[in-house]
């Protein structure tokens, strides 16, 4: 299979990270070259910026635009260090979150600067489009209330300053995920997965909709 960028999106408790793991393992067993990565982060330098973004005692102090710029700082480093080199080698990259999360959180939920987002998005397009690879988003869609219960039943603390916010914020994030495709370049395909299903069922749906 030729190089492909698969971006798994969704809030905490949606099962997106589980899907990233399960999808990568299934493909590797079939002999495919797969790189798994995440945002924010995904390379040593990008992980340094991740720690700044998610630091609980200071994260809420960032304005929506400053927050978005930090996400794009880590994203551009991540693309340079990890994503673009892997795609050039002909490998499949499966990323835990990417630009759709930025739109959902910083633009839709926090009322950030949409024209600035559009300009930054075009910089990502500038890096990816010449590679001529298939880029697809898979949104793990789930009711935020159900997702929060999943987190609690698993005995996990809410992991960062974003996921610890109130329910209304997460409802806005979910709305943002649903409309994000209208604000991205047409080079990106979008599919929606029913994340209320079991991990095995979500994996099967993802493989079917992503043709993997």
pLDDT digits (tens, 9 = 90+) for 75-85: 999 999 999 99
71-74-76 Cα angle (round to 5): 105
Q: Which residue positions in the chain have pLDDT lower than 70?
A: 1, 56-60, 154-165
The confidence score (pLDDT) of residue 160 equals: 53
Phi and psi, residue 90, nearest 5° = 85, 15
Q: What's the CA angle centered on 105, arms 163 and 66, to 5 degrees? A: 105
Do residues 140 and 19 lie in contact, with contact meaning Cβ atoms separated by under 8 Å?
A: yes
**In which residue are the tokens 């030729």 written?**
2
Are 95 and 8 a contacting pair, CB within 8 Å?
yes
Does the domain made of 4-210 have the CATH classification 3.40.50.300?
yes
pLDDT reported for residue 56: 56
User: Residue 57's pLDDT is what?
Assistant: 58
- What pLDDT, on the 0 to 100 scale, is given for residue 131? 96
Calculate the alpha carbon distances from 177 to 11, 104, 111, 148 in Å. 9, 5, 14, 17
d(CA 212, CA 209): 8
Whether 140 and 15 have beta carbons less than 8 Å apart is answered as yes
| pLDDT of the residue at 63 | 86
Per-residue pLDDT at 163: 56
Tell me what pLDDT residue 17 has. Answer: 94
- Res 151: pLDDT: 78
- Residue among 16, 11, 2 at smallest CA distance from 165: 11
Domain ranges of the chain: 4-210
Spatial strand order in the sheet of 92-96: 34-38, 92-96, 4-9, 134-141, 188-194
Work out the number of other CB atoms within 10 angstroms of the CB of residue 174: 21
């Amino acid at each position: 299979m030729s190089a492909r960028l698969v971006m798994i999106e969704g809030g905490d408790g949606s099962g997106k990270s589980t899907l990233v793991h399960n999808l990568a393992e299934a493909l590797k067993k079939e002999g495919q070259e797969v790189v798994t990565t995440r945002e924010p982060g995904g390379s040593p330098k990008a992980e340094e910026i991740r720690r700044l973004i998610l630091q609980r005692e200071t994260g809420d102090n960032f304005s929506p635009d400053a927050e978005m710029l930090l996400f794009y700082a880590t994203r551009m480093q991540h693309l340079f260090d990890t994503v673009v080199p892997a795609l050039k080698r002909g490998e499949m990259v499966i990323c835990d979150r990417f630009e759709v999360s930025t739109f959902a959180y910083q633009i839709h939920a926090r009322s950030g600067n949409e024209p600035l987002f559009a300009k930054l998005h075009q910089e990502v397009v500038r890096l990816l489009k010449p590679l001529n690879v298939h880029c697809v988003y898979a949104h793990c869609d789930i009711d935020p209330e159900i997702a929060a219960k999943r987190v609690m039943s698993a005995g996990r603390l809410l992991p960062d300053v974003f996921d610890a916010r109130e329910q209304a914020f997460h409802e806005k994030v979910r709305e943002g995920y649903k409309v994000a495709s209208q604000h991205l370049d047409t080079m990106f395909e979008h599919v929606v997965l029913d994340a209320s299903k079991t991990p095995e069922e979500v994996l099967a749906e993802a493989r079917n909709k992503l043709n993997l």
